Amino acid sequence: MSKIHYREVICQGDLNVEILDEQRGLSLTHFAQVCGQSPDWVLQLIEYDILSATHPHQHQFLSEDVSRARRAYRLQRDFDASLPAVALMLDLLDEVHQLRRKVRHLP
């Protein structure tokens, strides 16, 4: 069994997960372990475009994918939301985050 070293960082209320050894992406099985979920759940995230799939049969995940998957799980759990609803919520949260970042940089 291989070890995955990561750390969770909370910055301005957002939880970010950083994989400390990111020389290569995580496989589907390892990614599911880091997220504390099943590989089938991860595949459903890909199906609903919550996570992007690089290659249809060979999944490689990065640290930002861990953060997004954990956010998806929290939304699904906290609001008892379906995955299509979670996908929409994440898209809207991302858009709000981008708009707030643009507003901070206005003169």
Q: Which domains does the chain have, with CATH numbers?
A: 6-104 (1.10.1660.10)
Q: How many whole angstroms separate alpha carbon 92 and alpha carbon 69?
A: 15
Question: What percent of the chain is predicted at pLDDT more than 90?
Answer: 50
| pTM given for the model | 0.74
The SS3 of residue 55 is: coil
The torsion angle over the Cα atoms of residues 54, 58, 62 and 64, rounded to 10 degrees, is 50
What's the pLDDT tens digit per position in 15-62?
655 555 555 678 888 889 888 999 999 999 999 999 987 666 678 888
